[in-house]
Amino acid sequence: MGETSPRKRREDGKSVQSSEPKTTSLQKEVGLVSGISIIVGTIIGSGIFISPKSVLSNTEAVGPCLIIWAVCGVLATLGALCFAELGTTITKSGGEYPYLMEAYGPVPAYLFSWASLMVTKPSSFAIICLTFSEYVAVPFYSGCKPPAVVIKCLAAAAILLIVVVNSLSVRLGSYVQNFFTAAKLVIVAIIVISGFVLLAQGNTKNFENSFEGADVSVGAISLAFYNGLWAYDGWNQLNYITEELRNPYRNLPLAIVIGIPLVTVCYILMNVSYFTVMTPTELLQSQAVAVTFGDRVLYPASWVVPLFVAFSTLGAANGSCFTAGRLIYVAGREGHMLKVLSYVSVKRLTPAPAIIFHGIVAIIYIIPGDINSLVNYFSFASWLFYGLTILGLIVMRFTRKELERPIRVPIAIPVVVTLISLFLVLAPIISAPAWEYLYCALFMLGGLLFYFLFVYYKFGWAQRISRPVTMHLQMLMEAVPPEEDPQ
């Protein structure tokens, strides 16, 4: 079969992460604090520091802007609670993938993995690292824009560093995430405390008549919600690593209930702080809002803002890589990707082949000029799969009654979230129809061609090519098929 036996490859039956014998599979290394760090660290990227103006540009007033940030946080929490039920009912890693598999079968699950692994996850990873490299490069090119080649090389270096860290150790990856999340919360605290001091000093002019001139049309409010909810994207990240959570029945819902309200409070208070020193017009015109805030309030220590924003961005990239690797691993385990992508490093007990594959695809996305538009056009696909997954929760309440459900949310919550997801799929297409949405839909459906050729029918010639490739990659990366835990 071209696969080396795990027991033959492991001489001492021990991993380098521990002196105790372990099976060659992903270990439960992620606790409650690390779980909260993954949620907070992945949701809070660079957006709230650089351009938290997407909501304000639609509402055109401070009052409705703050209300929408709060309501979006509530909606994200409701969606995450639905995922908490799914995650404790089906305790498999991979986010939406195993839930779609259980609810609808292999085809929707494959299409999700196809769109996620080939476009949404790696391109998002690339954009986060490009943002990080811009922040790092700017101080060295005062008065001019850094060369594109420098930014791309720094982004590629950041991707390689993150891939190496997460391939070496699950525990190291979670420690790095904890550090960057702590750094992120430090700069959030600095900005929020500074805002409270300014409020106490009477800087409340921008909050007077805060609803004056507001655009409360259905179109404006819907676009504001759309942009606000995207700022909370990442609330489902912990479901990608369910198999590595210690005590998932307790820690998964607890991390969600602590993490997402924490993010909501941070978002609201940071916006309040920004408005203490900037009018809505100034905020919309600022290229990097947090830096403008720092220059006006923290000088001469304003340099701490870009430093901590760089930390924040790197933390979001690390969280993105940490969780995306598990989706690739699970898709490979189910036979929906190359089998070698489901293998585990025999020494490190990490899904190293999956993480390395994710890093390679992300580096490819760095090469072209602008990939932001690609992510924007595929954003509707993400909400399509969110909606299908939460609808699957409702479906399984009737079709899979035998499943044990440690957490059971009221049926009204998944119904509301499903309807909101439907709205978010249709809103951008109706408000600004473009051919690109059709191209995205065709790309996703194009995944069916690969599904039937390589997964469903499993042509002999494809197997003859993949076996030697799998064997050589297995030897190169010292990876083996995961073993079943005897427990």
Rounded Cα distance between 352 and 344, Å, is: 6
User: Sorting pLDDT into bands at 50, 70 and 90, what band is 278?
Assistant: very high
Is 77 inside any structural domain? yes
Find residue 314's DSSP bridge partners.
none
pLDDT at 392: 95
Top-confidence residue, 160 or 44: 160
Q: Does any domain span residue 24?
A: no
Please report the pLDDT score of residue 374 as a whole number.
64
Poorest-pLDDT segment among 160-174, 198-212, 216-230, 377-391: 216-230
How would residue 142 be classed by pLDDT, with cut points 50, 70 and 90? Answer: confident
pLDDT in tens, 412-443: 999 999 998 898 888 778 877 878 788 888 88
Question: What is the distance between the alpha carbons of residues 323 and 390, in angstroms, rounded to a whole number?
Answer: 20
Number of independent structural domains in the chain: 1
The residue segments making up the domain with residue 135 are 32-402+410-480
Angle subtended by helix axes 32-43 and 304-333, to nearest 10:
110
Nearest alpha carbon to residue 342 among 20, 10, 97: 97
Q: Is pLDDT above 50 for 16?
A: no
CATH number for 113: 1.20.1740.10
Place of tokens 């820690």: 251
Residue pLDDT, tens place only, 55-77? 898 888 999 999 999 999 999 99
Q: Is there a domain that residue 291 lies in?
A: yes
Give the C-alpha separation, 344 to 354, whole Å. Answer: 9
- The token pair at 251 is 């820690």
Whether 22 is in a domain gets the answer: no
Whether residue 436 lies inside any domain: the answer is: yes
Residue 338 belongs to a domain: yes
With respect to residue 314, please indicate whether it lies within any of the assigned structural domains: yes
Residue 26 domain flag? no
Tokens 């940490």 correspond to 322
